[in-house]
Amino acid sequence: MKMPRLSVLIMLAAIALPATAAPTAAELAAKMREARLTPGFEARFQAVNVAPDGQRSTPIKAAVVGQFDAAHRRLLLRGIAPEAIRDEIRAVDYRAGGCSRASDGNGPADPFAPLFGTRLVAWDMLAPWWDWPRQSLAGADRVVGRECVLVRSRTDDRDTPPIREVLSCIDADAGISLRTQLFDSHGALVRDITVVTTVRKESGLLAARKVTVAVGDKRTEAETYSGDEHYEVPVGAFTKLEGQPTTCR
């Protein structure tokens, strides 16, 4: 029996075209690192703490300058309002090889400490878990209406405080983690970060515009209200980090 010509062509095409393998967890982690590279950016954001009963705190405003390259990732955060946090400084960096340090402008600081009375943490903004050697796929999920792939990042380093595992739900094509859950050495959830709204960058990738950071039944809502993705970082912007003690994993 002769097969129709069209059926034969379809079969030949199916044989000729190899199946595209799904990316591994390590490849997705590398893609996330690459998506965050930037010679400089600046943003201003407003954050509000929300109590379990829904009561909202007085908003705080702050600015952040960042610079992420292959060697290290650096952030300089400065309080704007209210008066109690005006010009309060937090500088942090994370360098290739797993070394980090932080300063409050006067001396060493804890990169895991909450920022400006909120539940935002500078260490989270550096996302060092994409450099951890143990990356594994953990399925898929849907966050705020978007499909995303679950990647579990783990470290066995006992000197890495206090986060030992991170579960990210990423849209790799958009270069963003839509939900990031951070766990301690006992497997307990420490923080849950969810992207609520996004903004498209000039590259076509997405950046978070509004996020919520939940710690137990309390949360902080933070939203960027202005920014510059091509910001020229001033010379000496991160000198406050010089001479600060460095912790390496």
pLDDT band of 192, cuts 50, 70, 90: very high
**Peptide bond before 245: cis, by omega within 30 degrees of 0?**
no
Mean pLDDT of 171-194: 96
Three-state DSSP state, 229: coil
Q: What whole-number distance in Å separates Cα of residue 145 and Cα of residue 228?
A: 27
pLDDT band of 13, cuts 50, 70, 90: very low
What does the block give as tokens for 149?
Answer: 């792939």
Instruction: List, in order, residues 6 or more apart from 49 with CB less than 8 Å away.
Output: 56, 57, 117, 118, 119, 218, 219, 220
Locate tokens 């509004």: which residue? 210
Q: What whole-number distance in Å separates Cα of residue 249 and Cα of residue 101?
A: 12
pLDDT band of 15, cuts 50, 70, 90: very low
Amino acid 17: pLDDT: 45
As a dihedral over the C-alpha atoms of residue 85, residue 86, residue 88, residue 93, rounded to 10 degrees, the angle is: 110
What does the block give as tokens for 136?
Answer: 């594994």
pLDDT band of 70, cuts 50, 70, 90: confident
What does the block give as tokens for 167?
Answer: 């579960």
Look at the domain 22-248 and name its fold.
outer membrane lipoprotein receptor (LolB), chain A (2.50.20)
- pTM summary value: 0.88
Residue-range domain boundaries for the chain: 22-248
Amino acid 20: pLDDT: 67
Mean pLDDT of 106-113: 92
Q: Is the pLDDT of residue 219 over 50?
A: yes
Q: What whole-number distance in Å separates Cα of residue 108 and Cα of residue 110?
A: 7
Q: Is the pLDDT of residue 55 over 60?
A: yes
State what percent of residues in the chain have pLDDT above 90: 76
pLDDT tens digits for range 134-170: 999 999 999 988 999 999 999 877 665 689 999 999 9
CB 45 within 8 A of CB 209: no
Candidate from 2-6, 104-108, 143-147 with smallest mean pLDDT? 2-6
DSSP summary character for residue 107: S
Mean pLDDT of 189-199: 97
Q: What whole-number distance in Å separates Cα of residue 237 and Cα of residue 78?
A: 12
Q: What whole-number distance in Å separates Cα of residue 75 and Cα of residue 40?
A: 10
Cβ neighbours around 182 below 10 Å, total:
22
